[in-house]
């Protein structure tokens, strides 16, 4: 049996997580992304600055980080019945190509959703590629006719 763990990322793993983000960008055709070393430094600093709002969950095989998913937690306007409200957005789900199609992505997403439940979040959204929609649907995500967006700047 494989030595796989799915758990919150540790601070000393953030450079490896940044490397996964870099791989994701390159794999999806991003060009002119600069130098990997600069990106890793920036990413690790960003993760440290945003630890209260962005939680990273990783898939680790042995001692190598091979997958990641981020949960961005957003505080919502209170109501009289719900004075403390929050929702989440699932971001940057990635598993290295050689570890795909074995269920690790689904396990990773379910781990993030379990963490969201523990935080008491009302809902979790995800912005997905059309290719990944079936995988998210298997984890309980459904389309919503009420979720709209306005694109304000190039992504």
> Coil, strand or helix: which one is 66?
strand
Q: Which residues of 83-121 are buried (b: 16+ CB within 10 A; e: fewer)?
A: eeebebbbbbbbbbeebeeeebbebbbebbbebbeeeeb
89 token code pair = 């957005």
Instruction: Output the pLDDT for position 153.
Output: 83
Closest C-alpha among 87, 154, 68 to residue 125: 87
Instruction: Output the pLDDT for position 33.
Output: 76
> Coil, strand or helix: which one is 67?
strand
Cβ atoms 138, 107 nearer than 8 A? no
Instruction: Output the pLDDT for position 155.
Output: 63
Angle at Cα 118 formed by Cα 112 and Cα 122, nearest 5°? 85
* Residue 127, φ and ψ in degrees, nearest 5: -100, 115
80 token code pair = 């009289």
Instruction: Output the pLDDT for position 30.
Output: 81
Percentage of the chain modeled with pLDDT above 70 = 99
Residues of the chain with pLDDT below 50 are 1
Instruction: Output the pLDDT for position 12.
Output: 96
**To which residue do tokens 């079936």 refer?**
134
Please state, in angstroms and rounded to a whole number, the distance separating the CA atoms of residues 104 and 5: 10
Instruction: Output the pLDDT for position 31.
Output: 77
- Spell out the alpha helix ranges (H) of 58-151: 104-118, 133-138
pTM of the model: 0.91
- Provide the 8-state DSSP code for 47: H
């Amino acid at each position: 049996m494989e030595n796989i763990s799915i758990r919150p990322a540790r601070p000393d793993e953030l450079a490896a997580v940044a490397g996964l983000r870099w791989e994701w960008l390159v794999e999806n055709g991003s060009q002119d992304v600069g130098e990997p070393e600069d990106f890793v430094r920036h990413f690790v600093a960003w993760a440290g600055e945003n630890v209260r709002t962005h939680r990273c969950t990783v898939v680790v095989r042995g001692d190598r980080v091979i997958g990641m998913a981020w949960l961005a937690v957003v505080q919502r306007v209170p109501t009289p019945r719900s004075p403390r409200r929050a929702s989440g957005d699932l971001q940057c789900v990635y598993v290295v190509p050689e570890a795909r199609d074995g269920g690790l992505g689904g396990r990773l997403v379910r781990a993030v959703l379990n963490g969201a439940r523990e935080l008491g979040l009302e809902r979790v959204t995800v912005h997905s590629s059309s290719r990944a929609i079936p995988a998210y649907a298997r984890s309980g995500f459904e389309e919503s006719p009420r979720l709209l967006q306005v694109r304000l700047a190039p992504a």
